[in-house]
Amino acid sequence: MDLSLSPAQQLLQNSARTLLQQRCPPERVQELALDPRGFAADLWKEIATLGWPGLLVPTELGGSSGSVGDALALVEEMGRACFPSPFIASAIVATAALTAAGGRRAQALLPALAMGERICALATLEESARLDPGALALPVAAPGRLTGRKLFVPDAHVATDVIVLGRGAAGPTALLLPMDRTGITARPLDSMTGDKLFELEFAGVETSPDDVLGAPGHGWALLAPAFRLGALARSAEMVGAAQRVLELCVEHARVRVQGGRPIGGYQAIQHACADLFRDVESARWLMWEAAWKLESGRPDADAAVASAKAYGALACLRVARRGHQIMGAIGYAEEHPLHLFHKRILAAGLDMGDATLHLEAVARAIGLA
Partner 1 sequence: MDFGLSGPEQAFADEVRAFLQAHPPETFPEDGTDAGYGSGAHSHAFTRALGERGWLSMGWPREHGGQARPMSYLLVLLEALAAAGAPFGPVSGCLQVSDSIIRHGSETLQREILPRVARGEVTFWQGYSEPGAGSDLLALTTRARLDGDHWVLDGRKIWSSHAGIAAYGTVLARTDPGSTRNRGLTMLMVDNRLPGMDVRPIRSLTGQVYHYEIFMDGVRVPRDWVMGKSGEGFGQLLKGLDTDRFWGRFYKAPFLRRILGLLVEYANTPVDGGPSLARDPVVRRRLAHAATEIAALRALFYRAAWLIERGQPATGPVSAAKVMADELGQRVLSMGMEILGPYGVLRAGSRWARLRGEIEHQYQTSWGHTLAGGTSEIQRTTIAVRALGLPAEPRGRV
Reduced to 3 states, what is the DSSP secondary structure of residue 260?
A: coil
363 binds partner 1, rule: CB under 8 A: yes
Instruction: For the segment 170-189, give every residue that binds partner 1 (CB under 8 A).
Output: none
The minimum distance between CB 52 and partner 1, in angstroms, equals 20
- Smallest separation (angstroms) from partner 1 to the CB of 274: 4
Read off φ and ψ for residue 342, nearest 5 degrees. Answer: -55, -50
The correct pick among 3, 7, 180, 259 for binding partner 1 (CB under 8 A) is 3
Task: Give the three-state DSSP class for 350.
Answer: helix
The full length of the chain comes to 369
For residue 367, state whether it binds partner 1 (rule: CB under 8 A). yes
What is the rounded CA–CA span in Å between residue 243 and residue 256? 20
DSSP-based three-state secondary structure for 201: strand
* List 13, 307, 338, 350, residue binding partner 1 (CB under 8 A): 307
Look at residues 287, 133, 113 and name the one whose alpha carbon lies nearest to residue 223: 133
The window from 46-54, 120-128, 186-194, 305-313 that contacts partner 1 (CB under 8 A) reads: 305-313
Select from 262, 324, 328, 354 the one that contacts partner 1 (CB under 8 A). 262
Per CB under 8 A, 359 contacts partner 1 = yes
Helix 338-350 to helix 26-34 angle (10° resolution) is 60
Rounded distance between C-alpha atoms, residue 141 and residue 163, angstroms: 14
Phi and psi angles of residue 325, each rounded to the nearest 5 degrees, phi first: -70, -40
Nearer Cβ to partner 1 (28/293): 293
Shortest Å, Cβ 305 to partner 1 = 11
Residues 121-140 that bind partner 1 (CB under 8 A): none
Q: Which of residues 63-92 bind partner 1 (CB under 8 A)?
A: 69
Packing angle of the helix pair 301-327, 338-350 (nearest 10 deg): 160
Stretch of 117-125, 158-166, 211-219, 264-272 contacting partner 1, by CB under 8 A: 264-272
Which residues within the stretch 266-295 sit at the binding site for partner 1 (CB under 8 A)? Answer: 266-267, 269-271, 273-275, 277-278, 281-283, 285-286, 288-289, 291-293, 295
> What does the alpha-carbon distance between residue 85 and residue 45 come to, in Å, rounded to a whole number?
11
Site string for partner 1, 31-60 (x = CB under 8 A): ------------------------------
What is the C-alpha separation between 204 and 189, in angstroms, rounded? 22
DSSP one-letter code for 271: H
CA 74 – CA 233 distance, rounded (Å): 9
In whole angstroms, what is the distance from residue 238 CA to residue 317 CA?
A: 9
Considering the complex, state which of residue 5 and residue 213 has its C-beta at the smaller distance from partner 1. Answer: 5
Looking at 92-100, 159-167, 182-190, 310-318, which segment touches partner 1 (CB under 8 A)? 310-318
| CB 92, min distance to partner 1, A | 17
**Helix 301-327 crosses helix 267-295 at what angle (to 10 degrees)?**
160
How many CB atoms are closer than 10 A to CB 267?
A: 8
Nearest to partner 1 of 21, 356 (CB atom): 356
Question: CA-CA distance, 155 to 90, in Å (whole number)?
Answer: 10
- Of 2 and 190, CB closest to partner 1: 2
- Indicate the residue among 83 and 288 with the shorter CB distance to partner 1: 288
**Which residues neighbour 360 within 8 Å (Cβ) at sequence distance 6 or greater?**
none
Q: Which residues bind partner 1 (CB under 8 A)?
A: 1-5, 69, 250, 253-254, 261-262, 264-267, 269-271, 273-275, 277-278, 281-283, 285-286, 288-289, 291-293, 295-296, 304, 307-308, 310-311, 314-315, 356, 359-360, 362-363, 365-369
